[in-house]
Amino acid sequence: MALSNTAERYGGVTKTFHWLTALLILTLIPLGWYANQLPYETEPELARKAWLFSLHKTLGVAAFFTATLRILWALSQTKPALLNADKPLESRLAELVHWMLYGALVIVPLSGWIGHAAAAGFAPIWWPFGQNLPLVPKSVEVEHFASAVHWVATKVLIAALVLHIAGALKHHVVDRDATLLRMLPGTPGLGPLPEHRHPRSPVFGAVGLWVAALALAAALNTGEKDNLAAAAVALEEVASEWQVEEGSIEITVIQFGNPVTGTFADWTAAITFDETVTDGPFGDVTTTVSIPSLTLGSVTDQAMGADFFDAANHPTATFSGQIKTGQDGYLADGTLRIKDNEVPVALPFSLAITGDRAEMNGSITLNRLDFGVGNNMQDEGSLAFAVDVVIKLTATRGAAEPQS
């Protein structure tokens, strides 16, 4: 059997790429579906789910490179004539499906890889590379868009795959020609082939359909963001002597030995502070955080669950304390309330004041078990007890005005 294609037959390299790609895709689709269905309420369940997702992602990267090499090889080869070229509509539809498959074989694994690289932590890829990608930032927006593309492209892949298999079976069972046989080992006999030129219309049609699919993914991503915003708790406005102009509350957890970092998008801070005070507290602070506004990579849904933050029943966390002198700056000394668990917390922070403008940076490490978060996860190999919290904000002094 020749390695290269001819005008009538597929070569050995093309056949090998075809069946290797088919094996990977027919493994990845049910594997991804099954891993998504698994629960993750206990450590063994979470470990099994993570292992299966790592397998899925690792095979997905293999599928991406296999598909890329297959397409490059196909572009360098003669494309054998269709056996049904005397049926223009049928042959054009067959080539349209073929080009849709080519697009899916690249877009599906690549979008999954980009989503993984934009997130952090859960279910690492087992290749010695792959946790990060050039030009792909750690970004919730990028992760969510890539996930939406992956979801839509997977559906396109399944539809194209079903049509491709149905077409091959039709050729074999109904038309009784050698379309399927010439992709198998051996050299089946071929009768006279109808004259055929591969038109460009199926290529343009596939490009148009993929543009529509990506537009649908963008619309779904926008809808998801709107739903998340609607689900977040609407925090009450607060009056504050210092108005927060910008800031962030960031947490980092260690899952399966990998850091996963997330931020709370919605929170308020009521701050009183007088740096000229010489005796007693400088002021006080009350911060309320909307728990559903947290994005924590691919484990956001898990973090919202009843065994963790239980966002449905405890939608806010609150810190209240006084601002005192610290060892190397200041100290916010008070209590943090999460899920009906109120724990004393002393947050050290630095403060730089220029006129009526202040920049604050603070960090602290908390034990999640003190707040009843993840009590079902008692093995630090699965989920570390320590949670690093980093707070940064810029505020301006002014009259007490409502802040939201």
Q: What would the pLDDT profile of 273-313 be if each residue is shown by its tens digit?
A: 998 888 779 999 999 999 999 988 778 888 998 889 999 89
According to the model, what pLDDT value does residue 191 have?
A: 63
Quickly state the pLDDT bin for 381 (edges 50, 70, 90): confident
According to the model, what pLDDT value does residue 194 have?
A: 62
Q: Choose the most confident range, by mean pLDDT, from 136-140, 218-222, 257-261, 338-342.
A: 338-342
According to the model, what pLDDT value does residue 302 have?
A: 85
Angstrom CA distances, 373 to 9, 18, 253, 297, 310, stand at 62, 48, 12, 17, 8
Give dist(CA 71, CA 135) in Å, integer.
Answer: 24
In sequence order, what are the residues at sequence separation of 6 or more whose Cβ sits closer than 8 angstroms to the Cβ of residue 22? Answer: none
According to the model, what pLDDT value does residue 132 have?
A: 86
Residue 174, classed as helix, strand or coil, is: helix
Lowest mean pLDDT segment, chosen from 89-93, 141-145, 194-198, 337-341:
194-198
| b/e map 381-399, b = 16+ CB within 10 Å | ebbbbebbbebebebebee
Quickly state the pLDDT bin for 400 (edges 50, 70, 90): very low
Quickly state the pLDDT bin for 214 (edges 50, 70, 90): very high
Residue 72, Cβ neighbours under 10 Å: how many?
11
Tokens of 203: 């290529």
Task: Looking at 76-177, list the stretches that DSSP marks H as alpha helix, in order from N- to C-terminal side.
Answer: 88-118, 140-169
According to the model, what pLDDT value does residue 328 have?
A: 81
DSSP state of 373: S
Give dist(CA 355, CA 271) in Å, integer.
Answer: 17
According to the model, what pLDDT value does residue 24 have?
A: 96
**What CATH number has the domain spanning 238-403?**
2.40.128.110
Burial of 89 (0-12, 13-18, 19+ CB in 10 A): exposed
Please state the rounded mean pLDDT for residues 374-397.
92
Q: What would the pLDDT profile of 171-195 be if each residue is shown by its tens digit?
A: 889 888 888 888 888 777 676 666 6
Answer yes or no: is pLDDT of 253 > 90. Answer: yes
Give dist(CA 282, CA 331) in Å, integer.
Answer: 10
Q: What mean pLDDT value characterizes the chain?
A: 88
What are the residue boundaries of the structural domains of the chain, listed by start? Answer: 12-231, 238-403
Give dist(CA 113, CA 346) in Å, integer.
Answer: 40
401 forms bridges with which residues in the sheet?
Answer: 240
Angstrom CA distances, 95 to 163, 174, 197, 200, 206, stand at 11, 19, 12, 10, 9
Please state the rounded mean pLDDT for residues 344-355.
94
For residue 38, which amino acid is it?
Answer: L
For residue 288, which amino acid is it?
Answer: T
Lowest mean pLDDT segment, chosen from 82-86, 137-141, 216-220, 383-387:
82-86
According to the model, what pLDDT value does residue 145 have?
A: 92
According to the model, what pLDDT value does residue 181 have?
A: 83
Nearest to 220 by CA among 154, 282, 279, 171: 154
Cα-Cα-Cα-Cα dihedral sign, residues 133, 139, 145, 150: positive
Tokens of 297: 């990579």
Tokens of 194: 């109808």
According to the model, what pLDDT value does residue 224 have?
A: 61
Nearest to 41 by CA among 367, 308, 296: 308
According to the model, what pLDDT value does residue 124 have?
A: 86
Please state the rounded mean pLDDT for residues 32-43.
87
According to the model, what pLDDT value does residue 44 have?
A: 86
Residue 352, classed as helix, strand or coil, is: strand
Answer yes or no: is pLDDT of 383 > 50. Answer: yes
What is the longest distance spanned by two Cα atoms in the chain?
101
Answer yes or no: is pLDDT of 227 > 60. Answer: no
Cα atoms in the 13 Å half-sphere on the side-chain side of 81: 16
According to the model, what pLDDT value does residue 344 have?
A: 97
